[in-house]
Structure formats: structure tokens, C-alpha cells
Amino acid sequence: MSSTVSTTLRVALCQVRVDAEKRKALANAQRWVEEAVKQGAKLVVLPECFNCPYDTRCFPTYAEELSPVSKGDPSTDMSASETASLLQKLARAHGIYLVGGSIPERSHSDQRIYNTSLTFGPRGELLARHRKVHLFDVDVPGGIRFRESDVLSAGESLTSFALKFGDSAIALRIGVGICYDIRFPEMAAAMTRAPHDADMLVYPGAFNMTTGPAHWELLIRARALDNQVFVCACSPARDPHASYTAYGHSMIASPWGDVLARTDEHESLVIADVDPSRIMHARNAIPVRKQRRPEVYTSQPGF
């Protein structure tokens, strides 16, 4: 009898609507994660601030404290945070890897607020906690003005985790960034080199109607192409009545820089079967990772 071992990973991005009432936002996220599971996804991603309007006035009131973080332990008690315990419950119940978008997190040690992404594994174990490293402080005349740093503090480290299913040939390392983090090529490059060695970068994000049409796809494909990795970027669905209008257009790009799956601005799932062999195919064909000349670039004044 021949057994079939899966050589691809089904990934789903849940482009959910964010209700201002947290209870409804969480119930909606749960519904979409469960739909992704029904469609066979093993890695499921939620968007930035999926439990809170993306608005600096809301972050302090929606912020949740996490239990002291104990990575890799399936029995870690997440009950201090309503959102974290839901994510843990969903990952465990469905045996999936769940990159739980991001949430405003209040640090129990210093009461600062962070924009934080939690990832849970199939046993409900906390695998990663990423605090957004680059805060979104911009002022585009006639477009968008936003200052996350009015209320948020920045994270200080890079984040990655290992994904492996016993019954498949898939073993991937996944790096996590949040939204504006995608604009920093050095961060993506660092996540795709040792010790992180990410094969896929996942960015829960919420671009807007000024920078979304101009830069969202370009950045996703650029980070994929220049690091020869998969890139998943998951936005909330567009809500024209929200104080910040998300662009939507969640998408998955391949190590060749093409778009494997995408959506428009509406609530929806973006699903792709990711084939990790495409990474080595791209890297063998165009070996820029071996050909880079850091000694030339770093000798330049101003580098």
C-alpha cells in the first residue's frame, strides 16, 4: 500500500472585517479561521489589529495583558488574555499553525503597549511573540497621517518559528513581521539568514488607501524576490466607515516574485498550496544569495 506524503503546505490568509465591538470581532475571526480549516489550511493567518480598530485612540482601551510567556509549552495558560486564549484554543482544536494577526498588548512588567503578533502551534503551544519593530509614523501630505508612537512602544527583536507536520515532508522556518516592518529590507534579509533562516515571511498588515494602491503589492513581491522566499501579507477587509480605511488585497507571493493568490477589498480567504521546492529552484537558478558582496557595500561612507 502506498502512502501519500504531502509535499505542499496549504496556507490561508483570513481577510476579516474588524468590528469595533471586540466580542464580535473575535467571533468573526473564529468563523473565518474555521472556514480556512474546512478548506484544508494548515497555516492560517489573521490581519494586523483584528480585535481592535486600527486607531491610536483605541489601542490603550483594547490592550490585553498576556500571561507570562512560556514558549513551546502546550499547557501555557493564556486565560489572562481573551484574544490569546481564543487563538490558542483554535490552533489546538484544529491542529493548525495560527499566526494570530496582531493585537494591542499591554506589558505586565512596564505597562507599555505594543503591537504584538502571537503564533500558536497545533498543540496550542505558543511558538512566537513578535512586537512590531518599526512603528508607523508617517505624514503624507493630502494622504495619510498616523503616529503609532503616540501610544505604542517598539519591539526590539526579530521573530521566527519552525513549522513541521509529522505526516508530511514539510519543514519550514517562518519569520514574522507586522505591516510597516515590511518596508525595511534589512529586517526581511536578516530574518532569511542565520540564525532565523526563514523560508517564508508572514506580515499581518493594514495598509491604507494612500499607500496601499501605491506600495502594498510592490513591497510584498520585492521582499519575496530579493530574499527568494514566500511572503504572506494579510490585511483586514475594507470598512469605509472606519476611522482608518484598510486597503485589503491580502496576497501570497512566491520566491520568484509572482503572486500565487490574492483577493480584493472584501472579506475573503486567500488560499495557496505552497511548494517549498520553489525556494531552491529560484536560489539555484539565480544565486544572488551566494553572489552578494557585503564587503563592497559596507565599505561605503554612510552605509
Ligand X SMILES: NC(=O)CCC(=O)C(=O)O
Site string for ligand X, 25-64 (x = CB under 6 A): -----------------------x----------------
Of 97, 203, 207, 230, the one binding ligand X (CB under 6 A) is 207
CB of 109 to ligand X, least distance (A): 25
Tell me which stretch binds ligand X (CB under 6 A): 31-39, 103-111, 178-186, 294-302: 178-186
Query: Is residue 16 within 8 Å of residue 50, measured between CB atoms?
Result: yes
136: contact with ligand X by CB under 6 A? yes
Residue position matching grid coordinates 537558478? 285
For the stretch 233-270, what's the b/e string if a residue is b when 16 or more beta carbons lie within 10 angstroms of its beta carbon?
A: bbbbbbbeebebbbbbbbbbbbbbbebbbbbebebbbb
| Eight-state DSSP code of residue 289 | H
DSSP string, 63-102: -BPPPPP-TT-TT---TT-HHHHHHHHHHHHHT-EEE---
179: contact with ligand X by CB under 6 A? yes
Count CA atoms within 13 Å of residue 137 on its CB side: 11
Characterize the bridge pairing of strands 43-45 and 9-15. Answer: parallel
Of 62, 114, 161, 180, the one binding ligand X (CB under 6 A) is 180
Residue 288 to residue 225: CA distance in whole angstroms: 10
Tell me which stretch binds ligand X (CB under 6 A): 86-94, 176-184, 195-203, 252-260: 176-184
103: contact with ligand X by CB under 6 A? no
- Rank residues 206 and 225 by Cβ distance to ligand X and give the closer one: 206
Tell me which stretch binds ligand X (CB under 6 A): 23-31, 122-130, 202-210, 250-258: 202-210
- 198-200-201-206 Cα dihedral, nearest 10 degrees: -170
Residue 72 to residue 151: CA distance in whole angstroms: 30
Residue 209 CB burial class (10 angstroms; 0-12, 13-18, ≥19)? middle
Of 206, 220, 237, 269, the one binding ligand X (CB under 6 A) is 206
- Rank residues 205 and 255 by Cβ distance to ligand X and give the closer one: 205
Provide the annotated active-site residues: 48, 132, 179
Site string for ligand X, 214-233 (x = CB under 6 A): -x------------------
Of 51, 81, 159, 208, the one binding ligand X (CB under 6 A) is 208
- Rank residues 48 and 64 by Cβ distance to ligand X and give the closer one: 48
CB of 255 to ligand X, least distance (A): 23
Q: Among 75, 81, 13, 78, which residue's Cα sits nearest to residue 52?
A: 81
CB of 140 to ligand X, least distance (A): 8
Query: Is residue 28 within 8 Å of residue 17, measured between CB atoms?
Result: yes
Tell me which stretch binds ligand X (CB under 6 A): 55-63, 189-197, 206-214, 268-276: 206-214
- Rank residues 78 and 178 by Cβ distance to ligand X and give the closer one: 178
Query: Is residue 203 within 8 Å of residue 179, measured between CB atoms?
Result: yes
- Interface residues with ligand X (CB under 6 A) are 48, 136, 179-180, 183, 206-208, 211, 215
